[in-house]
Structure 1
Amino acid sequence: MPCWLMKSEPDEFSIRNLEELGYSRWDGVRNYQARNFLRAMAEGDLFFFYHSSCATPGIAGIGRITRAAYPDPTAIDPNSAYFDMKAKAEKNPWSAVDVGFVERFDTVLTLPQLKSHPALSQLPLVQKGSRLSVMPVGEAEWHVILAMR
C-alpha cells in the first residue's frame, strides 16, 4: 500500500483538528506535482500528517485516505482562499481527497530529527529545496519513521 506525507500549517488545520473531527476534506493544493500525488492516492492509504510553517515543524500523527481524489470544490468557490479564477465546474484542474484520523503522536517528530536519521536521507521532505505539500514515502522510510516516535 502506498504511503504519503501531507503538510498543513497547524493554525489552519492540525492533527488535533482532524482528531476532533474524525474526518475532513484535504483541499487547497495548488501545485501540479502535489496534485498528481493526491490523484495517485487510494482509499485506505496512510499518510504522515506534517505540521509546517510553525514553531516546531514535524510529523504530528497519521491519517488515512477515506475517499480518493475528486475535483476540489474550493477552486471554483469565489469565497474560498483557494479560489482559482481559471477553474470551472466542468474543467477543474485541482483535486481534493477526504482524510480520516488514525493517530496523534505524543511528541512531534521534528525536521532536524528526521534529517539526522541516515535511513531517511532520500526522503523528499529532507532534501534541500523540497517544498511540496504532498509527497510519497517509501515503505522502508515509513517503518523507520514509525520506529522513531
Structure 2
Amino acid sequence: MAKWLVKTEPSECGINDFAAAPDKTIPWDGVRNYQARNFLKDMAVGDEVLVYHSSCKDIGVAGIVRIARSAYPDPAQFDPESPYFDAKSTPDNPRWQAVDMMFVRKLPRLIPLDRIRSQPGLDNLALVRKGNRLSVMPVSDEEWQIILAAG
C-alpha cells in the first residue's frame, strides 16, 4: 500500500468534513495540475492519505483518510456550471481524475508545518521543499512514520 498527502483548505473540505460525511466518503475532485493528477491515477484502494490543512489559521496535518475508490474521470470537468469545468475534456478523452477518500481518523492534535519541517528525515518530502505547490504528493513509509511520530 502506498502513502500520500493531500493539501486542502478546511473551509472547502477538511478532516471534519470526512468525519461528518454520511458514509464517511468524499470524492476528491477539482485537481487541475497534471503532476497531481498523475499521482491521483497512481492511488489504489486501501492506500492511506494524510490530510493537510492549508490556507487557514491552523496549518498542518489534521488526520488520515483512505482511498475508497481508485481514479475515475472527474465529473466536474464536464459540468459547465462548475469552477472546475474544462471545455477541452470529453467523456471519451477526460483530462482530469478524481478518487473517493474515506475517513479513518482525526489526529489527537494538528501536526503543524513548522514541526514537520524540523523533523530529521523529511528533507526530501515534497511538502517541505521550496516552490512545491502540489496538492497531491507521495509520502514514503519512513516519512509517514516520522510525521505521525511528530504528532
TM-score for the superposition, normalised by structure 1 = 0.97
Shift of 1:37: 0.3
Shift of 1:65: 0.1
The reply on whether 1:92 has 2:89 as its aligned counterpart is no
Q: Distance in 1 between matches of 2:52 and 2:45?
A: 19
Counterpart position of 1:132: 134
Q: CA RMSD in A?
A: 0.8
Q: Distance in 2 between matches of 1:74 and 1:101?
A: 22
The reply on whether 1:24 has 2:26 as its aligned counterpart is yes
Counterpart position of 2:112: 110
The reply on whether 1:53 has 2:55 as its aligned counterpart is yes
Aligned residues: 149
Q: 2:54·2:60 contact (CA, 8 Å) conserved in 1? A: yes
Give the counterpart of 1:144 among 121, 131, 146: 146
3-state SS of 1:48 partner: strand
3-state SS of 2:11 partner: coil
Matched to 1:12, the amino acid is E
Q: Distance in 1 between matches of 2:109 and 2:83?
A: 30
TM-score for the superposition, normalised by structure 2 = 0.96
Counterpart position of 2:12: 12
Give the counterpart of 1:42 among 36, 41, 44: 44
Counterpart position of 1:81: 83
- Structure 2 residue runs without a partner (length 5+): none
- Structure 1 residue runs without a partner (length 5+): none
3-state SS of 1:11 partner: helix
